[in-house]
Amino acid sequence: MSCLRQENQIWIDMNILVTGANGQLGSEMRLVASRSADKYVFSDVVDLPGVDTLILDITDIDAIRKVVRDHDIKAVVNCAAYTNVDKAEDDVALCTLLNAKAPENLAIAMKEADGLLVHVSTDYVFGGDPYNTPCTEDRKGTPTGVYGQTKLDGELAIQASGCRHIIIRTAWLYSEFGKNFVKTMLGLTATKPQLNVVFDQTGTPTYALDLAETIFDILENRKWEGNDGIYHYSNEGVCSWYDFTKMIAEYAGNDTCRILPCHSDEFPSKVIRPSYSVLDKTKIKKTFGISVPYWTDSLKKCINNLK
Ligand SMILES: NC(=O)c1ccc[n+]([C@@H]2O[C@H](COP(=O)([O-])OP(=O)(O)OC[C@H]3O[C@@H](n4cnc5c(N)ncnc54)[C@H](OP(=O)(O)O)[C@@H]3O)[C@@H](O)[C@H]2O)c1
């Protein structure tokens, strides 16, 4: 079936596969994609009660090929990943399989189908060099841990595959769905009398719904043509995890918890997190003509949605 989407241009509706569709970003993709004339197929490695999910393990290339063939998939949005940054340090093999090999599988399948891969990566590809200005896409990746390194390897594998691709690095993702920093801090600031939160790591939070809207806009309006490459997307602004927590507590009305700034070395961890991983979003805004909400506005929206 074809339909007219833009003056003088006829676009054919297409079938789009979303992987990791029961995670934070995948769940937001489900919400925004309900507005589309395209057919979205939502997949994950496990079922979620009450949610329509095609079971697909993206570490299995034959399984991917079968889904692509059976559903005539022309684009994949990869929201699946190994996202536990601390655990990754001890789980190198699985983290590598999911963050480096699986994206390569998807890229090969899309190359074979002459389709598009939209892949999501991370600000944690940076951090090893002491940057203090927002990171542009062409800045050399210097990961500080296994998670960041495997995500960088995934990007390189996609680029090497020769498939059409849009790689979007994002940061500090939160959503109404799944486990995340906002939900954890909503609980802690409601129940604890005092909380120490690091102020020596600087970045930008990203409401997964805002990122999902951006991915949807690129796909829905066929904006990817001729625009292969890496892009950065987070919300606007800059903060530390301490500032982030202060705003979470304020918007939730949790005013009994004393929130104090502390240093990262007060929380012993196997992984060194980037001290500065702010993403420069100039390229994505210019290329796709999008506007990006300010981080506190989006945080307020998410907390209201959670209420
Ligand atoms: N979370 C962040 O703060 C953050 C920051 C920067 C970038 N990112 C990137 O943003 C993207 C989305 O992150 P997210 O927070 O939405 O992730 P998430 O909530 O952890 O969701 C990932 C989903 O992938 C699924 N999955 C795991 N193994 C799979 C497999 N073999 N095949 C298919 N699906 C599998 C997971 O299932 P299980 O839950 O059952 O494992 C989960 O449903 C990722 O690429 C991540 O690296 C995230």
- The bridge status of strand 73-78 relative to strand 15-19 is parallel
Residue 244 CA to residue 265 CA, distance in Å, equals 19
> What confidence score (pLDDT) does residue 8 get?
47
Assigned token pair, 283: 């390229």
Judge contact between 54 and 82, C-beta under 8 A. Answer: no
Q: If we measure between CA atoms, which residue out of 35, 22, 44, 32 comes closest to residue 213?
A: 32
- The bridge status of strand 202-203 relative to strand 239-240 is antiparallel
Residue 177 CA to residue 249 CA, distance in Å, equals 19
Distances from the Cα of 240 to the Cα of 208, 216, 262, 277, angstroms: 18, 29, 11, 11
SS3 call for 250: helix
Rounded distance from Cα 257 to ligand 1 centre (Å): 31
List active site positions. Answer: 147
Integer Rg of the chain from CA: 19
> What confidence score (pLDDT) does residue 10 get?
52
- In single-letter form, the type of residue at position 236 comes to E
Phi, psi of 36 (to 5 degrees): -90, 155
Global confidence as pTM = 0.96
Instruction: Give the pLDDT of the chain (307 residues) as one tens digit per residue.
Output: 334 344 444 567 899 999 999 999 999 999 999 999 999 999 999 999 999 999 999 999 999 999 999 999 999 999 999 999 999 999 999 999 999 999 999 999 999 999 999 999 999 999 988 778 999 999 999 999 999 999 999 999 999 999 999 999 999 999 999 999 999 999 999 999 999 999 999 999 999 999 999 999 999 999 999 999 999 999 999 999 999 999 999 999 999 999 999 999 999 899 999 999 999 999 999 999 999 999 999 999 999 999 8
Distances from the Cα of 218 to the Cα of 44, 63, 163, 225, 256, angstroms: 22, 27, 17, 9, 43
Q: If we measure between CA atoms, which residue out of 81, 270, 257, 238 comes closest to residue 172?
A: 238
Residue 307 CA to residue 299 CA, distance in Å, equals 12
Strand order in the sheet with 229-232: 54-55, 39-44, 15-19, 73-78, 116-122, 164-170, 229-232
Could you tell which of 28, 30, 41, 45 is best to mutate to test the pocket of ligand 1, judged by most ligand atoms within 8 Å of the CB? 45
The residue whose CA is least distant from atom 8 of ligand 1 is 122
Rounded distance from Cα 245 to ligand 1 centre (Å): 23
Could you tell which of 17, 19, 24, 101 is best to mutate to test the pocket of ligand 1, judged by most ligand atoms within 8 Å of the CB? 24
Rounded distance from Cα 51 to ligand 1 centre (Å): 17
**Ligand 1, residues at Cβ distance < 6 Å:** 19-20, 22-25, 44-46, 57-59, 79-81, 83, 98, 120, 122, 151, 170-173, 178
Judge contact between 179 and 124, C-beta under 8 A. Answer: no
The residue whose CA is least distant from atom 30 of ligand 1 is 57
> What confidence score (pLDDT) does residue 163 get?
98
The residue whose CA is least distant from atom 10 of ligand 1 is 120
Rounded distance from Cα 83 to ligand 1 centre (Å): 5
The residue whose CA is least distant from atom 12 of ligand 1 is 79
> What confidence score (pLDDT) does residue 12 get?
79
